[in-house]
Amino acid sequence: MEAGKLSKFLKNGAIWGFIVLELIFFSVAGEFLSLSDKAFMDADNMLLLLKQSAPIGIIAMGMTIIMVNGNIDLSVGAIFALSAVILLDSMTWEVFAGLGDWVIPVSWGLALLTGIVLGAINGLIVWKTGVDAFIVTLGSMLGFRGLVFMYNGENPTSSLNWTLVDFAEAQFLGLHTATWFLAVVTLVIWYVMTRTVHGRNAYAIGDNREAAVNAGIKVGPHMLINFMIIGFLAALSAVVFYSESGSVNPNDGQLYELWVITAVVLGGTKLTGGSGSIISTLGGVLAIQLLRKGLGHIGADTSTVNLVIGLILIAVLFLDRQLNTKGKEELKI
Minimum CB distance to other proteins smaller for 3 or for 173:
3
Phi-psi region of 331 (alpha: psi -120 to 50; beta: other; left: phi over 0): beta
Helix (H) or strand (E) holding 202: helix 197-207
Minimum CB distance to other proteins smaller for 8 or for 38:
8
Minimum CB distance to other proteins smaller for 94 or for 330:
330
If one asks whether residue 213 binds other proteins (CB under 8 A), the answer comes out as yes
d(CA 101, CA 5): 54
d(CA 105, CA 90): 11
Judge contact between 158 and 247, C-beta under 8 A.
yes
| Binding piece for other proteins, criterion CB under 8 A, among 90-98, 118-126, 203-211, 302-310 | 203-211
If one asks whether residue 155 binds other proteins (CB under 8 A), the answer comes out as no
If one asks whether residue 208 binds other proteins (CB under 8 A), the answer comes out as yes
Residue type for 20, please? V
Candidate list 142, 170, 187, 215; residue touching other proteins; CB under 8 A: 215
Q: Which residues on neighbouring strands pair with residue 310, listed in sequence order?
A: none
Residues in contact with other proteins, total (CB under 8 A)? 25
Candidate list 27, 207, 296, 305; residue touching other proteins; CB under 8 A: 207
- Phi and psi angles of residue 172, each rounded to the nearest 5 degrees, phi first: -120, 125
- Beta strand 175-176 with 171-172 is antiparallel
Estimate to the nearest angstrom the gap between the alpha carbon of 299 and the chain centroid.
26
If one asks whether residue 52 binds other proteins (CB under 8 A), the answer comes out as no
- The 3-state DSSP class for residue 314 equals helix
273-302: contacts with other proteins (CB under 8 A): 274-275
Other beta carbons within 10 Å of 226: 28
Candidate list 162, 197, 303, 330; residue touching other proteins; CB under 8 A: 197
* Shortest Å distance, C-beta 200 to other proteins: 5
Estimate to the nearest angstrom the gap between the alpha carbon of 128 and the chain centroid.
26
* Shortest Å distance, C-beta 36 to other proteins: 47
If one asks whether residue 218 binds other proteins (CB under 8 A), the answer comes out as yes
If one asks whether residue 128 binds other proteins (CB under 8 A), the answer comes out as no
Please work out, in degrees rounded to the nearest 5, the angle formed at the alpha carbon of residue 277 by the alpha carbons of 329 and 268: 45
Binding mask 227-266 for other proteins (x = CB under 8 A): ----------------------------------------
If one asks whether residue 11 binds other proteins (CB under 8 A), the answer comes out as no
| Binding piece for other proteins, criterion CB under 8 A, among 22-30, 43-51, 156-164, 191-199 | 191-199
d(CA 78, CA 38): 37
If one asks whether residue 321 binds other proteins (CB under 8 A), the answer comes out as no
If one asks whether residue 160 binds other proteins (CB under 8 A), the answer comes out as no
d(CA 82, CA 14): 36
If one asks whether residue 200 binds other proteins (CB under 8 A), the answer comes out as yes
Contacts to other proteins by CB under 8 A: 1, 3, 192, 195-201, 203-204, 207-208, 210-218, 274-275
